[in-house]
Amino acid sequence: MRIAIGADHNGFELKNIICEFLKDKKVEYKDFGTYSREPVDYPDIAKIVAEAVARGEFDRGILICGTGLGMAIAANKVRGIRAATCHDVYSAERSRKSNNCQIMTMGAQIIGSELAKMLVDAWLKSEFQNGRSTPKVRKIMEIEKENFIK
């Protein structure tokens, strides 16, 4: 599995911790920044990571900002992307199993690094359960198609 990971300045330290965690778990990843506490705009990072996932260059993405919310909102604007903010293990699992989210976002100002690692671990182990959820996810994709304005 190939993971694209990114963060804004508020998520910078947690991103580095998660990168180390992925390395320990031998999960392939690419770090799209940011690389310091210098302020950056979270939509810029969300766009780069979400587009790379949407193009199929990565299987999944992890985005971290202060709350996880801005990253999720921005990533969800990229066609084909389903991103969810996960701050508990059940949501991390369900975002994969029920919603087939390719991107998980977290808020570094909300959760600690040990919980973040647990969430990533649960999320990595969870796959979409094709079945009752499939038509619902398809309907999400239809909303996106119907509302596409260029």
Of 69 and 118, which CB lies nearer to ligand RB5 in the complex structure? 69
Active site residue 65: yes
Give me the least distance between CB of 12 and ligand RB5, in Å please: 10
d(CA 41, CA 79): 20
Which chain residues interact with ligand RB5 by CB under 6 A? Answer: 8, 10, 42, 65-67, 69-70
Q: What angle do CA 74, 76, 79 make, to 5 degrees?
A: 115
Our CB check for ligand RB5 shows the closer of 40 and 92 to be: 40
Q: Which is nearer to ligand RB5, 27 or 115 (CB)?
A: 115
Cite the active site residues.
Answer: 65
